[in-house]
Chain A
């Protein structure tokens, strides 16, 4: 009677008794419910159905779709990884360069102009980017025409960049502003003294950028690059418009399986492969952030 009664008394004396506590919890649950329903109905159930569909061949479970996927599309999987990986590296370099100039630039006017210009591609949809680059990069496109006019090349030597290079250019052009926005924001909120302390000891601006600034914004840069990687993995319009040939990216293959064959099984299997690729990158990010917090 001694210890137990003490405990109970403490409980009932609490301003929020057991009863009001549970009703509060119920209210909280009610408030979350609409959002939860939307996620479950529109996202989680379709995802599970697709995942299940990937393992179904003619009504029975099996790995047939994956066998087919790797038979037909191994080259495309590698192609997708290389394109997205290369684009991610270039985006990282370009956004660090832009953020670095915005942070360390000594000509206020040039900094202001860059600040104004660099965000524009962010507001242009991927399909428009694809269209723009088609007319720009084609064999008889604007880039080659200008080069020919300037005498830099001849019509015979002009090459079309509408292949893997076009995709990389489109991705970098479209995604760099987004990462640069995140990175330059993080750089702007750094303690300026840490930069001046390095300058005071004799570090050049490049060294300040590489050794002082980038390590301090590494986490933001990683987040931006992971998000970009996942976004680029899911873009359909750019590979369709710029690179209508083989090998191509997985998104184009999925569209092709669905539209031309109605083959949802292989399309789902390709989707699972993309998901694994994207989440492996997210896993790298999660591990890095855990390490940082430890």
Chain B
């Protein structure tokens, strides 16, 4: 099997973020591997381990895991982390023209790389913790014309039959879904516990290949991406006034009763 995992470097979700000229100021904050993508990397490793006699990804297993990431030069840090978990190689699309790309442009670029790669399965996290739109997996499936198996709480792959089934977790319950290869999968965070990179994994990752590509290398024009080509625009971004701190009372024995009196007085219950 050829498996790809889409990953993104994002500002650390603990960091304070601000807008700069209508887009997120990424330069001023620490950047990390989107933690929701770690579940996708882990699941790809488990799929390979479950269907390979050597129980390890990489050479000899007959399966490869390729990371695909779009982002500035420093995104290689996040890519190295995912490589150190056990992925085999990476494709990094890095081009100045990509800065400020919207979800439509991002999905266009990723779908081009995926279509050229001949993959059987592509895994994603459900969303990135910065933009939080949660639309890229669905957009990729639409662009590629692939089966969409998203919000998977479990994934079962049958490489012999080229079939994959998932339990899609929705607000209303579980939908069990299946499709033939190729399929686009997104995984939710309760699907697994991502492994910590081992020392051996970190050392091995340094030798793994990261292929850096420009837009011209994947046959896309710079006019289709970036802030200028975005199909939505931010008019203004204003800090909201801080919430005014309200009443704070010590529970003197009737704290519950006083709370109910407050809620009744404010007519919220």
A, B in one complex: no
By a beta-carbon cutoff of 8 Å, the part of chain A in contact with chain B is: none
